[in-house]
C-alpha cells in the first residue's frame, strides 16, 4: 500500500526531515503495517527555460553505461535532445553538454537512475528511432 501525505511549506530540508520523522513515528504507533520507504518531494525555485522553436517532443536519445564495471549495464533517456548533439549517423557524442549532463548520474555524484543506481562508465549514446 502506498500513501501520500502533504506537508506545510517549511524553509529547510532539515525541517522537512524532522517533520517526516515525526509523522512516521506517529504512523508506526497506529498501524500494524511497516514503512519500506519514505520520500520527501518539493518544488524547487529555479530559472525556467523555454523549448526551442520547432522542438520535437518525440525525439530523444538513450545513453547506456556500466553500473558495475563490465558486469551490468543500465540506460537513461535524454528527452528532446538538441539536434546539435546528434551526429549524422544518429550517434550522440558523450562530450560537451551531453557529458556534463550524464556526469550528474555517475558514481559519487548527486543523482541516481530510476533504480537508485549510478553509472561507473558511460559507453555510448544514440538517437532513439
Per-domain residue ranges for the chain?
1-46, 60-127
C-alpha cell at 28: 508506526
Opening angle at CA 58, ends 127 and 73, nearest 5: 40
What pTM was computed for the model? 0.67
With contact defined as beta carbons under 8 Å apart, do 42 and 16 qualify?
yes
pLDDT at residue 94, rounded to an integer? 95
pLDDT at residue 58, rounded to an integer? 66
Cβ count near 81 (within 10 Å): 23
pLDDT at residue 11, rounded to an integer? 82
pLDDT at residue 57, rounded to an integer? 64
Q: Please tell me what DSSP assigns to residue 83.
A: G
pLDDT in tens, the chain (129 residues): 688 877 777 888 899 899 999 989 888 888 888 889 888 887 777 778 877 777 666 678 999 999 976 789 999 999 888 888 999 999 999 999 999 999 989 887 778 887 778 899 999 999 997
Sheet-wide strand order for 121-127: 72-79, 60-68, 121-127
Amino acid at each position: 500500500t502506498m500513501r501520500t501525505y502533504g506537508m506545510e511549506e517549511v524553509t529547510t530540508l532539515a525541517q522537512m526531515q524532522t517533520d517526516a520523522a515525526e509523522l512516521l513515528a506517529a504512523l508506526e504507533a497506529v498501524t500494524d503495517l511497516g514503512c519500506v520507504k519514505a520520500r520527501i518531494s518539493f518544488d524547487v525555485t529555479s530559472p525556467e527555460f523555454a523549448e526551442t522553436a520547432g522542438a520535437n517532443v518525440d525525439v530523444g536519445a538513450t545513453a547506456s553505461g556500466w553500473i558495475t564495471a563490465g558486469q551490468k549495464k543500465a540506460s537513461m533517456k535524454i528527452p528532446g535532445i538538441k539536434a546539435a548533439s546528434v551526429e549524422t549517423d544518429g550517434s550522440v557524442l558523450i562530450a560537451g553538454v551531453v557529458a556534463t549532463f550524464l556526469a550528474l548520474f555517475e558514481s559519487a555524484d548527486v543523482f541516481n537512475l530510476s533504480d537508485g543506481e549510478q553509472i561507473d562508465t558511460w559507453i555510448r549514446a544514440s538517437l532513439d528511432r
